[in-house]
Amino acid sequence: MIIRNAKVFSDGCRFVEKDLVIRDGRIVFGAAPQPGEEILDAQGAYALPGLVDIHFHGAVGHDFCDADEAGLQAIADFEASKGVLAICPATMTFNEEILNGIMDVAAAHKNDRGADLVGINMEGPYISPDKVGAQNPKYVMAADAGMFRRLQARSGGLIRLVDIAPEVPGNLDFIKECHNEVRISIAHTCVDYETAKEAFAAGASHMTHLYNAMPGITHRAPGPIIAALEEGAEVELITDGVHIHPAMVRFTFRTFGDEHVILIADSMMACGLPDGEYSLGGQAVTVRGPRATLTEHPGTIAGSATCLYDCMKHAVLDMDVPLVSAVRAASLNPARSIGIDADYGSLEPGRWGNVILADHQLNIQKVIRKGEVIVG
Protein backbone atom coordinates (compact mmCIF):
# COMPACT_ATOMS: atom_id res chain seq x y z
CA MET A 1 0.00 0.00 0.00
CA ILE A 2 1.13 3.55 -0.80
CA ILE A 3 -0.45 6.54 0.97
CA ARG A 4 0.30 9.66 -1.03
CA ASN A 5 0.30 13.39 -0.24
CA ALA A 6 -0.55 13.06 3.46
CA LYS A 7 0.83 15.31 6.18
CA VAL A 8 2.72 12.59 8.02
CA PHE A 9 3.46 12.79 11.74
CA SER A 10 7.15 11.90 11.88
CA ASP A 11 10.68 13.31 11.76
CA GLY A 12 11.02 14.58 15.31
CA CYS A 13 7.32 14.95 16.05
CA ARG A 14 6.30 17.29 13.27
CA PHE A 15 4.13 17.01 10.17
CA VAL A 16 5.86 16.49 6.82
CA GLU A 17 4.06 16.04 3.52
CA LYS A 18 5.35 12.82 2.00
CA ASP A 19 4.31 9.37 0.90
CA LEU A 20 4.00 6.40 3.22
CA VAL A 21 4.72 2.92 1.87
CA ILE A 22 3.54 -0.17 3.74
CA ARG A 23 4.92 -3.57 2.76
CA ASP A 24 4.20 -6.83 4.59
CA GLY A 25 2.38 -4.80 7.21
CA ARG A 26 5.31 -2.53 8.05
CA ILE A 27 6.36 0.96 7.01
CA VAL A 28 9.16 1.55 4.53
CA PHE A 29 10.17 4.81 2.86
CA GLY A 30 11.45 5.34 -0.64
CA ALA A 31 10.41 1.99 -2.10
CA ALA A 32 9.44 1.92 -5.76
CA PRO A 33 5.77 1.18 -6.51
CA GLN A 34 4.91 -2.40 -7.34
CA PRO A 35 2.54 -3.48 -10.12
CA GLY A 36 -1.06 -3.44 -8.92
CA GLU A 37 -0.17 -1.92 -5.55
CA GLU A 38 -3.03 -0.15 -3.74
CA ILE A 39 -2.57 3.61 -3.77
CA LEU A 40 -4.49 5.99 -1.50
CA ASP A 41 -4.49 9.71 -2.28
CA ALA A 42 -4.64 11.40 1.13
CA GLN A 43 -4.26 14.95 -0.16
CA GLY A 44 -4.89 17.41 2.68
CA ALA A 45 -5.25 14.72 5.36
CA TYR A 46 -3.16 14.15 8.44
CA ALA A 47 -1.50 10.75 8.73
CA LEU A 48 -1.30 9.93 12.43
CA PRO A 49 0.25 6.86 14.05
CA GLY A 50 -2.18 4.33 15.43
CA LEU A 51 -2.79 5.35 19.03
CA VAL A 52 -1.57 3.41 22.08
CA ASP A 53 -3.76 3.33 25.20
CA ILE A 54 -1.91 2.13 28.29
CA HIS A 55 -4.70 2.79 30.79
CA PHE A 56 -8.33 1.91 30.18
CA HIS A 57 -10.71 -0.73 31.49
CA GLY A 58 -13.21 -1.60 28.79
CA ALA A 59 -15.71 -0.57 26.13
CA VAL A 60 -18.93 -1.60 24.35
CA GLY A 61 -20.36 -3.39 27.39
CA HIS A 62 -17.23 -5.39 28.23
CA ASP A 63 -14.59 -5.02 30.94
CA PHE A 64 -11.06 -6.39 30.70
CA CYS A 65 -11.54 -7.78 34.21
CA ASP A 66 -14.47 -9.92 33.05
CA ALA A 67 -11.73 -12.37 32.00
CA ASP A 68 -13.70 -13.32 28.90
CA GLU A 69 -12.03 -13.89 25.52
CA ALA A 70 -15.06 -12.83 23.49
CA GLY A 71 -15.30 -9.64 25.51
CA LEU A 72 -11.60 -8.91 25.12
CA GLN A 73 -11.88 -9.34 21.35
CA ALA A 74 -14.92 -7.04 21.26
CA ILE A 75 -12.92 -4.41 23.16
CA ALA A 76 -9.96 -4.82 20.78
CA ASP A 77 -12.23 -4.50 17.74
CA PHE A 78 -13.90 -1.35 19.07
CA GLU A 79 -10.59 0.29 19.98
CA ALA A 80 -9.20 -0.43 16.51
CA SER A 81 -12.26 1.15 14.92
CA LYS A 82 -11.39 4.33 16.83
CA GLY A 83 -7.77 4.35 15.71
CA VAL A 84 -6.38 2.83 18.92
CA LEU A 85 -4.33 -0.05 17.52
CA ALA A 86 -2.29 -1.08 20.57
CA ILE A 87 -3.88 -1.60 23.98
CA CYS A 88 -2.58 -2.16 27.49
CA PRO A 89 -5.80 -2.47 29.53
CA ALA A 90 -5.87 -2.00 33.28
CA THR A 91 -6.95 -4.39 35.98
CA MET A 92 -8.96 -3.22 38.95
CA THR A 93 -8.31 -3.94 42.63
CA PHE A 94 -8.92 -7.66 43.14
CA ASN A 95 -7.31 -10.53 45.01
CA GLU A 96 -4.80 -12.88 43.40
CA GLU A 97 -7.37 -15.56 42.62
CA ILE A 98 -9.49 -13.18 40.55
CA LEU A 99 -6.44 -11.62 38.91
CA ASN A 100 -5.23 -15.10 37.92
CA GLY A 101 -8.24 -15.56 35.65
CA ILE A 102 -7.66 -12.18 34.01
CA MET A 103 -4.01 -13.05 33.34
CA ASP A 104 -4.98 -16.44 31.91
CA VAL A 105 -7.34 -14.90 29.35
CA ALA A 106 -4.81 -12.23 28.38
CA ALA A 107 -2.04 -14.79 27.92
CA ALA A 108 -4.23 -16.94 25.67
CA HIS A 109 -5.58 -14.06 23.56
CA LYS A 110 -4.82 -14.35 19.83
CA ASN A 111 -5.97 -11.14 18.18
CA ASP A 112 -6.04 -11.12 14.40
CA ARG A 113 -8.15 -8.11 13.50
CA GLY A 114 -8.52 -5.59 16.35
CA ALA A 115 -6.08 -3.61 18.45
CA ASP A 116 -3.06 -5.63 19.51
CA LEU A 117 -2.89 -6.55 23.20
CA VAL A 118 0.59 -5.27 24.02
CA GLY A 119 0.48 -5.28 27.81
CA ILE A 120 -1.42 -5.14 31.08
CA ASN A 121 -1.56 -2.21 33.48
CA MET A 122 -1.94 -3.57 37.02
CA GLU A 123 -3.78 -0.62 38.59
CA GLY A 124 -4.67 -2.47 41.80
CA PRO A 125 -4.52 -3.77 44.48
CA TYR A 126 -1.35 -2.09 45.87
CA ILE A 127 -3.03 1.25 46.55
CA SER A 128 -4.01 3.37 49.53
CA PRO A 129 -7.23 2.41 51.36
CA ASP A 130 -7.83 6.15 51.76
CA LYS A 131 -7.70 6.91 48.02
CA VAL A 132 -9.56 4.00 46.45
CA GLY A 133 -11.64 6.15 44.09
CA ALA A 134 -13.79 3.68 42.13
CA GLN A 135 -11.63 0.72 43.18
CA ASN A 136 -13.03 -1.92 45.54
CA PRO A 137 -11.66 -1.34 49.08
CA LYS A 138 -12.33 -4.97 49.97
CA TYR A 139 -9.25 -6.12 48.05
CA VAL A 140 -6.74 -3.34 48.80
CA MET A 141 -3.45 -4.73 50.09
CA ALA A 142 0.24 -3.91 50.50
CA ALA A 143 2.50 -4.62 47.55
CA ASP A 144 3.69 -8.22 47.32
CA ALA A 145 6.65 -9.02 45.05
CA GLY A 146 5.92 -12.74 45.10
CA MET A 147 2.33 -12.22 44.06
CA PHE A 148 3.37 -9.83 41.28
CA ARG A 149 5.88 -12.33 39.91
CA ARG A 150 3.35 -15.15 39.97
CA LEU A 151 0.87 -12.97 38.06
CA GLN A 152 3.57 -11.88 35.63
CA ALA A 153 4.48 -15.49 34.88
CA ARG A 154 0.83 -16.37 34.46
CA SER A 155 0.31 -13.51 31.99
CA GLY A 156 3.26 -14.57 29.87
CA GLY A 157 5.15 -11.39 30.75
CA LEU A 158 2.39 -9.00 29.70
CA ILE A 159 2.34 -6.83 32.84
CA ARG A 160 4.00 -3.55 31.81
CA LEU A 161 2.90 -1.25 34.65
CA VAL A 162 2.26 -1.73 38.36
CA ASP A 163 0.55 1.04 40.32
CA ILE A 164 1.73 1.73 43.86
CA ALA A 165 0.84 3.99 46.81
CA PRO A 166 4.38 4.55 48.16
CA GLU A 167 3.32 5.57 51.66
CA VAL A 168 1.77 2.18 52.45
CA PRO A 169 4.19 0.19 54.67
CA GLY A 170 6.30 -2.15 52.55
CA ASN A 171 5.52 -0.51 49.22
CA LEU A 172 8.81 1.36 48.95
CA ASP A 173 10.57 -1.99 49.37
CA PHE A 174 8.51 -3.35 46.45
CA ILE A 175 9.61 -0.43 44.28
CA LYS A 176 13.27 -1.03 45.11
CA GLU A 177 12.96 -4.75 44.45
CA CYS A 178 10.85 -4.75 41.29
CA HIS A 179 11.51 -1.52 39.38
CA ASN A 180 13.92 -3.29 37.01
CA GLU A 181 11.22 -5.86 36.17
CA VAL A 182 8.26 -3.57 35.49
CA ARG A 183 7.52 0.15 35.27
CA ILE A 184 6.30 1.49 38.62
CA SER A 185 3.61 4.16 38.72
CA ILE A 186 2.51 6.23 41.71
CA ALA A 187 -1.26 5.99 42.01
CA HIS A 188 -4.30 6.15 44.30
CA THR A 189 -2.15 7.64 47.01
CA CYS A 190 -1.97 10.04 49.94
CA VAL A 191 1.81 10.34 49.56
CA ASP A 192 3.56 13.56 50.53
CA TYR A 193 6.35 15.30 48.63
CA GLU A 194 9.20 13.78 50.63
CA THR A 195 7.96 10.18 50.35
CA ALA A 196 7.22 10.65 46.66
CA LYS A 197 10.83 11.75 46.16
CA GLU A 198 11.91 8.57 47.95
CA ALA A 199 9.71 6.52 45.64
CA PHE A 200 11.26 8.07 42.53
CA ALA A 201 14.74 7.55 43.95
CA ALA A 202 13.79 3.90 44.55
CA GLY A 203 12.77 3.42 40.92
CA ALA A 204 9.25 4.75 40.30
CA SER A 205 9.03 6.77 37.08
CA HIS A 206 5.36 7.17 36.19
CA MET A 207 2.23 8.89 37.57
CA THR A 208 -1.22 7.38 37.08
CA HIS A 209 -4.03 9.76 35.97
CA LEU A 210 -2.28 12.88 37.29
CA TYR A 211 -4.28 15.03 39.74
CA ASN A 212 -6.87 12.31 40.30
CA ALA A 213 -6.74 10.17 43.48
CA MET A 214 -3.68 11.97 44.88
CA PRO A 215 -2.86 15.11 46.90
CA GLY A 216 -2.87 18.37 44.98
CA ILE A 217 -0.29 21.16 44.89
CA THR A 218 -0.11 23.70 47.71
CA HIS A 219 2.62 26.15 48.57
CA ARG A 220 3.60 24.52 51.89
CA ALA A 221 2.86 20.92 50.95
CA PRO A 222 3.90 20.56 47.29
CA GLY A 223 2.90 16.90 47.17
CA PRO A 224 3.69 14.15 44.67
CA ILE A 225 2.94 16.19 41.54
CA ILE A 226 5.83 18.58 42.17
CA ALA A 227 8.05 15.62 43.09
CA ALA A 228 7.17 14.03 39.73
CA LEU A 229 8.00 17.28 37.92
CA GLU A 230 11.38 17.58 39.61
CA GLU A 231 12.26 13.94 38.93
CA GLY A 232 11.30 14.00 35.25
CA ALA A 233 8.54 11.42 35.62
CA GLU A 234 6.06 10.68 32.86
CA VAL A 235 2.48 11.56 33.72
CA GLU A 236 -0.90 10.31 32.50
CA LEU A 237 -3.70 12.75 31.68
CA ILE A 238 -7.38 11.99 31.06
CA THR A 239 -8.57 14.68 28.65
CA ASP A 240 -12.22 13.66 28.47
CA GLY A 241 -13.43 17.07 29.67
CA VAL A 242 -14.56 15.61 33.01
CA HIS A 243 -11.45 14.60 34.95
CA ILE A 244 -9.28 17.70 34.44
CA HIS A 245 -10.02 21.35 33.66
CA PRO A 246 -8.62 22.47 30.29
CA ALA A 247 -6.42 25.09 31.99
CA MET A 248 -4.77 22.34 34.03
CA VAL A 249 -4.25 20.27 30.89
CA ARG A 250 -2.44 23.19 29.25
CA PHE A 251 -0.49 23.81 32.45
CA THR A 252 0.67 20.19 32.50
CA PHE A 253 1.89 20.19 28.90
CA ARG A 254 3.75 23.48 29.48
CA THR A 255 5.37 22.50 32.77
CA PHE A 256 6.16 18.82 32.23
CA GLY A 257 6.83 19.16 28.50
CA ASP A 258 5.01 17.15 25.86
CA GLU A 259 7.74 14.48 25.95
CA HIS A 260 6.60 13.53 29.47
CA VAL A 261 2.80 13.56 29.02
CA ILE A 262 0.78 10.44 28.16
CA LEU A 263 -2.87 10.76 27.22
CA ILE A 264 -5.09 7.92 28.46
CA ALA A 265 -8.81 7.21 28.21
CA ASP A 266 -9.35 5.39 31.54
CA SER A 267 -12.58 4.32 29.85
CA MET A 268 -14.92 1.71 31.27
CA MET A 269 -17.48 -0.57 29.65
CA ALA A 270 -19.89 2.25 28.79
CA CYS A 271 -17.48 3.67 26.21
CA GLY A 272 -19.19 3.39 22.83
CA LEU A 273 -22.64 2.87 24.38
CA PRO A 274 -25.51 5.18 25.44
CA ASP A 275 -26.16 6.56 28.90
CA GLY A 276 -27.27 4.03 31.47
CA GLU A 277 -26.28 1.75 34.31
CA TYR A 278 -23.03 -0.19 34.09
CA SER A 279 -20.36 -1.59 36.41
CA LEU A 280 -16.66 -1.22 37.11
CA GLY A 281 -14.65 -3.48 39.38
CA GLY A 282 -17.85 -5.03 40.72
CA GLN A 283 -19.38 -1.66 41.64
CA ALA A 284 -22.43 -0.07 40.02
CA VAL A 285 -21.75 2.91 37.75
CA THR A 286 -24.15 5.47 36.31
CA VAL A 287 -23.22 7.15 33.01
CA ARG A 288 -24.73 10.45 31.91
CA GLY A 289 -23.07 12.01 28.90
CA PRO A 290 -19.28 11.93 29.31
CA ARG A 291 -19.49 11.52 33.10
CA ALA A 292 -19.35 8.09 34.78
CA THR A 293 -19.83 7.98 38.57
CA LEU A 294 -20.36 5.36 41.22
CA THR A 295 -24.11 4.90 41.53
CA GLU A 296 -24.00 4.80 45.34
CA HIS A 297 -21.46 7.64 45.55
CA PRO A 298 -22.29 10.03 42.70
CA GLY A 299 -19.49 12.37 43.70
CA THR A 300 -16.90 9.73 42.78
CA ILE A 301 -15.83 9.58 39.13
CA ALA A 302 -15.64 5.98 37.90
CA GLY A 303 -13.41 6.09 34.85
CA SER A 304 -14.49 7.73 31.62
CA ALA A 305 -16.91 6.99 28.82
CA THR A 306 -14.59 8.44 26.16
CA CYS A 307 -12.12 6.57 23.94
CA LEU A 308 -8.52 7.71 23.61
CA TYR A 309 -8.96 9.13 20.11
CA ASP A 310 -11.75 11.41 21.31
CA CYS A 311 -9.67 12.38 24.37
CA MET A 312 -6.86 13.42 22.02
CA LYS A 313 -9.34 15.28 19.85
CA HIS A 314 -10.77 17.12 22.88
CA ALA A 315 -7.26 18.11 23.94
CA VAL A 316 -6.65 19.76 20.57
CA LEU A 317 -10.03 21.25 19.71
CA ASP A 318 -11.38 22.13 23.16
CA MET A 319 -8.28 22.56 25.34
CA ASP A 320 -5.86 24.33 22.97
CA VAL A 321 -3.17 21.68 23.17
CA PRO A 322 -0.97 21.82 20.03
CA LEU A 323 -1.77 19.00 17.62
CA VAL A 324 1.79 17.68 17.54
CA SER A 325 1.86 17.55 21.35
CA ALA A 326 -1.45 15.73 21.65
CA VAL A 327 -0.58 13.19 18.95
CA ARG A 328 2.79 12.50 20.54
CA ALA A 329 1.15 12.06 23.95
CA ALA A 330 -1.34 9.53 22.56
CA SER A 331 1.05 7.48 20.43
CA LEU A 332 4.83 7.72 20.75
CA ASN A 333 5.01 8.52 24.47
CA PRO A 334 2.84 5.62 25.69
CA ALA A 335 4.62 3.23 23.32
CA ARG A 336 7.99 4.27 24.75
CA SER A 337 6.68 4.09 28.29
CA ILE A 338 5.90 0.38 28.07
CA GLY A 339 8.76 -0.50 25.74
CA ILE A 340 6.93 -1.24 22.49
CA ASP A 341 8.14 1.71 20.41
CA ALA A 342 10.13 -0.54 18.07
CA ASP A 343 6.77 -1.63 16.62
CA TYR A 344 4.14 0.94 17.62
CA GLY A 345 3.59 4.62 18.23
CA SER A 346 5.25 6.22 15.21
CA LEU A 347 5.32 6.18 11.43
CA GLU A 348 9.04 5.60 11.12
CA PRO A 349 10.45 2.79 8.96
CA GLY A 350 10.16 -0.66 10.49
CA ARG A 351 7.08 0.06 12.59
CA TRP A 352 3.75 -1.57 11.93
CA GLY A 353 1.75 0.21 9.24
CA ASN A 354 -0.88 1.45 11.70
CA VAL A 355 -2.17 4.74 10.31
CA ILE A 356 -5.09 7.06 10.99
CA LEU A 357 -6.06 9.43 8.18
CA ALA A 358 -7.94 12.42 9.60
CA ASP A 359 -9.16 15.78 8.33
CA HIS A 360 -8.23 19.12 9.88
CA GLN A 361 -11.03 18.80 12.44
CA LEU A 362 -9.58 15.41 13.36
CA ASN A 363 -12.54 13.50 12.00
CA ILE A 364 -11.35 10.02 11.10
CA GLN A 365 -11.38 9.29 7.37
CA LYS A 366 -9.65 5.91 7.41
CA VAL A 367 -8.02 3.57 9.89
CA ILE A 368 -5.31 1.33 8.47
CA ARG A 369 -4.11 -1.65 10.48
CA LYS A 370 -0.84 -3.18 9.32
CA GLY A 371 -1.45 -2.01 5.79
CA GLU A 372 -5.13 -3.00 5.62
CA VAL A 373 -7.97 -0.49 5.64
CA ILE A 374 -10.37 -1.45 8.46
CA VAL A 375 -12.39 1.80 8.64
CA GLY A 376 -13.34 4.10 5.79
Give every residue of the chain whose pLDDT is below 50, as ranges: none
Nearest to 118, CA basis, from 348, 372, 337:
337
Q: What is the pLDDT of residue 10?
A: 86
d(CA 117, CA 183): 17
**pLDDT of the residue at 48:** 98
CA distance 256 to 252: 6
Q: How far is CA 29 from CA 8, 141, 352, in A?
A: 12, 50, 13
> Of 198, 202, 211, 210, nearest to 184 (Cα)?
202
Name residue 18's beta-bridge partners. 6
pLDDT tens by residue, 307-337: 999 999 999 999 999 999 999 999 999 999 9
* pLDDT score recorded for residue 36: 87
Rounded Cα distance between 191 and 227, Å, is: 10
Catalytic residue among 266, 310, 320, 343: 266
266 carries an active-site annotation = yes
SS3 sequence of 48-90 = EECEEECCCCEECCEEHHHCCHHHHHHHHHHHHHCCEEEECCE
d(CA 332, CA 261): 10
